[in-house]
Amino acid sequence: MTTDDDELLRPARYPRSAAYDPAWLLRLDMGPHPLWLLEDLARDLRLLPGMRVLDLGSGKGASSVFLVREFGVEVVAADWWVAAEEARAVFAEAGVEDRVTAVRAEAHQLPFEAESFDAIVSIDAFEYFGTADGYLPYLQRFLRPGGQLGIATPALRREVRELGSVPEHIRQVVGWEAVAWHTPEWWRFQWEVTELVDVTAARMQEHGWDDWLRWSRACGDDAVTRMLLEDGGELLGFALVAARKR
Ligand SMILES: C[S@@+](CC[C@H](N)C(=O)[O-])C[C@H]1O[C@@H](n2cnc3c(N)ncnc32)[C@H](O)[C@@H]1O
């Protein structure tokens, strides 16, 4: 990686993330840059030292390392595709193994006590398991009253339902999966209608499209880069949604 690349991958709008080596993040990559998403999402959360936080769909663990280091919280990193041993090695190498517990878990069968977390965060994962009507009611049982839920998830600025189909440039790359890429307003309604949580923020990430493009180029992901360029920021980006359990 050249010095220019290194600077490009530490944008000033994410000062906390800029302290993390882009080469380390590229090694753990599973999609968009997880720390830029989490740093932005965290602006709508209140994470305090000692809180117990579930990182749901934590992948190879970069976001869990960030949560420990930046906010002093205790983390349970739960993921389905990545083995707990693989995540544990990442936590040990980062020197946070005493603050993070790695668990292999499916999002609909979480092995936790009711009301055992102060916060649940999910970075680029909720779109795979969290869109069914019953999911928020299921998940919120693991939060203490007043506990927070925050997600960063790929989003379209208009619902696929409203567009009539998945737009061609998106369909070619992700197929039907984009049906789960809902607008922030969709998430707000979906969660608030349950009367189980109060949504405290629901927004398109301001630089979501250009961050995604910047990172897909760094990863050499030509298909995603093409999709984003063709989109031009018209539809694609990330929804950042935060809520508090009643
Ligand atoms: C695109 S990766 C993102 C990983 C990580 N959060 C990051 O940003 O690098 C999506 C993650 O969602 C997790 N995931 C997908 N379906 C899941 C399910 N049903 N239960 C738990 N995790 C799931 C996968 O294991 C995967 O690690």
Confidence of residue 2 (pLDDT cuts 50, 70, 90): confident
CA 173/CA 207 separation, integer angstroms: 21
Confidence of residue 3 (pLDDT cuts 50, 70, 90): confident
Q: In this structure, is the dihedral angle defined by the CA atoms of residues 119, 200, 203 and 186, taken in order, positive or negative?
A: positive
Q: How far is the CA of 81 from the centre of ligand 1 (A)?
A: 7
Each residue's pLDDT tens digit, 83-109 = 999 999 999 999 999 999 999 999 999
Residue 218 Cα distances to 8, 93, 205, angstroms: 9, 23, 20
Confidence of residue 183 (pLDDT cuts 50, 70, 90): very high
CA 76/CA 82 separation, integer angstroms: 14
pTM for this predicted structure: 0.98
Q: How many domains does the chain have?
A: 1
Q: What is the pLDDT of residue 7?
A: 78
User: Which residue among 39, 60, 124 is best mutated to probe the pocket of ligand 1, counting the most ligand atoms within 8 A of its Cβ?
Assistant: 124
Q: DSSP alpha helices (H): ranges in the chain? A: 3-8, 22-27, 34-41, 62-71, 84-93, 126-129, 135-139, 160-163, 168-174, 184-192, 208-219, 222-231
Provide the token pair at 212. Answer: 């995604």
Q: How far is the CA of 49 from the centre of ligand 1 (A)?
A: 25
The CATH number that applies at residue 18 is 3.40.50.150
Ligand 1, atom 16: closest residue by C-alpha: 128
Q: Which atom of ligand 1 is found nearest the CA of 106?
A: 20
Q: What is the pLDDT of residue 125?
A: 98
Confidence of residue 173 (pLDDT cuts 50, 70, 90): very high
Whether the pLDDT of residue 6 is over 90: the answer is: no
Domain enclosing residue 201, as ranges: 3-245
Q: How far is the CA of 3 from the centre of ligand 1 (A)?
A: 31
Contact status, residue 55 vs residue 67, Cβ threshold 8 Å: yes
Q: Which atom of ligand 1 is found nearest the CA of 29?
A: 9
8-12: long-range contacts, CB 8 A cutoff, minimum separation 24: 8/214, 8/218, 9/33, 9/214, 9/215, 9/218, 11/36, 11/207, 11/211, 11/214
Whether the pLDDT of residue 4 is over 80: the answer is: no
Pocket residues: Cβ below 6 A from ligand 1? 30-31, 34, 57-59, 62-63, 79-82, 106-107, 123-125, 128-129
Q: Would you tell me how many other CB atoms lie within 10 Å of the CB of residue 220? A: 9
Q: How far is the CA of 89 from the centre of ligand 1 (A)?
A: 18
User: Which residue among 54, 81, 82, 121 is best mutated to probe the pocket of ligand 1, counting the most ligand atoms within 8 A of its Cβ?
Assistant: 81
Q: What is the pLDDT of residue 5?
A: 77
Q: How far is the CA of 234 from the centre of ligand 1 (A)?
A: 26
Residue 161, burial from CB neighbour count under 10 angstroms (0-12, 13-18, 19+): exposed
Whether the pLDDT of residue 166 is over 90: the answer is: yes
User: Which residue among 25, 53, 58, 181 is best mutated to probe the pocket of ligand 1, counting the most ligand atoms within 8 A of its Cβ?
Assistant: 58
User: Which residue among 106, 127, 128 is best mutated to probe the pocket of ligand 1, counting the most ligand atoms within 8 A of its Cβ?
Assistant: 128
